Structure 1
Amino acid sequence: MTKFEYLSVLTSIIIGLALANLLSGAARLIQLRARVKPHATTLCWMAMLFLANIQIWWVAFERREANEFSFFAFLLYLMMPIATFLVSFLVLPDLGDEDQVDLAANFDGNRPWFFGLLGLVPAVSLIEEWTHDGNIPLDSDAAFRFVFLGLCVLAACVRSARFQLWNAVFVLCGFVAYVSVLFLQLR
């Protein structure tokens, strides 16, 4: 087993837990559809988080040829899947035996934490690139991460449901474009 294979197991477990939470939450929403008022913002973020978790796992493959790993560099890298796991958990309320499930109230109540943790992902990604390469290239990849980080900061501060919906749609479409342009092929 290589060092990369050994370290990627923990990353895969964290991402797998996030995906399991999103997928089981989606299944529970279908089961409880009579008691759940649909909330487009939550559904957009669920789709985006599904893609983000897969993208983090997908990009981890680029590390397979690295010969040196340090504990703190790995810990910094783990902050991305950990943050997406936490956000994947916050996006949905506990779907227990309540009479009504209020997705909008859950999203609004968790909004500052949701976007604070989500903003960690591009921030950590940029910091990690800077510590690993000594700089952050000003390319479309970095530009997307800066814009994404800015939108997270803005969305954490804005309560407007209309803004939150348009932000979720914009980020989901932007993320699909980002992955389509930069990450379609495993490198």
Structure 2
Amino acid sequence: MTKFEYLSVLTSIIIGLALANLLSGAARLIQLRARVRPHATTLCWMAMLFLGNIQVWWVAFERREAREFSFFAFLLYLMMPIAMFLVSYLVLPDLGDEDAVDLPANFEGNRVWFFGLLALVPGVSLIEEWVKYGAVPLDTDAAFRIVFVALCVVAVSIRSARFHFWNALFVLAGFVAYVSTLFLQLA
């Protein structure tokens, strides 16, 4: 077993837990549909987080050729799947058998933590590049991540449901374009 294979197991477990939470949450929403107060913004973020978790896992393959791994560099990298797991958990309320599920109230109640943690993912990625190369290359990939962080920072301070719906749609569409442009083939 290579060092990469060994370390990728933990990354895969964390991402797998995040995906399991999103998928089981989606199934529970279907089961409880008669008692769920719908919220398109939450559904957009669920789709975005599903794709985002897969993209974090997909890009992890780029580390396969690294010969040296340090504990703190790995810990820094691990912050991305951990943040993705946490936002994948926060996007939905506990879907027990209570009388009603209020998705808009859950979103608003978790908004600050949701966007704060979500901003960590591209933020940590940019920090990693800066630590590794001494600078962040100014390319399409870095530009997307910077815009993503900026949108998260703005979303923390805005309470408008309309803004959050359009922001979620914009980010989802932008993320699909980002992945389609830069990550369609496994490197």
| TM-score over 0.5 (shorter chain) | yes
Q: What is the TM-score normalised by the length of structure 1?
A: 0.99
Cα RMSD after superposing both structures: 0.4
Amino acid at match of 1:127: I
Task: Quote the residue 1:4 is aligned against.
Answer: 4
State the alpha-carbon separation in 1 of the partners of residues 59 and 132 from structure 2. Answer: 15
State the alpha-carbon separation in 2 of the partners of residues 86 and 92 from structure 1. Answer: 11
1:161-180 correspondence runs (5 A): 161-180=161-180
Number of aligned residue pairs = 187
Task: Quote the residue 1:105 is aligned against.
Answer: 105
Percent identity between the aligned chains? 83
Displacement of 1:2 in angstroms is: 0.1
Amino acid at match of 1:160: S
Q: Which runs of 5+ in 2 are unaligned?
A: none
Task: Quote the residue 1:67 is aligned against.
Answer: 67
State the SS of the aligned residue for 2:105.
helix
Task: Quote the residue 2:47 is aligned against.
Answer: 47
Deviations 1:95-131 (A, max 9, x none): 0111110000000000000000000011100001111
Report which stretch shifted further, 42-51 or 132-141: 132-141
Task: Quote the residue 1:143 is aligned against.
Answer: 143
State the alpha-carbon separation in 1 of the partners of residues 178 and 38 from structure 2. Answer: 27
Displacement of 1:66 in angstroms is: 0.3
State the SS of the aligned residue for 2:60.
helix
Task: Quote the residue 1:154 is aligned against.
Answer: 154
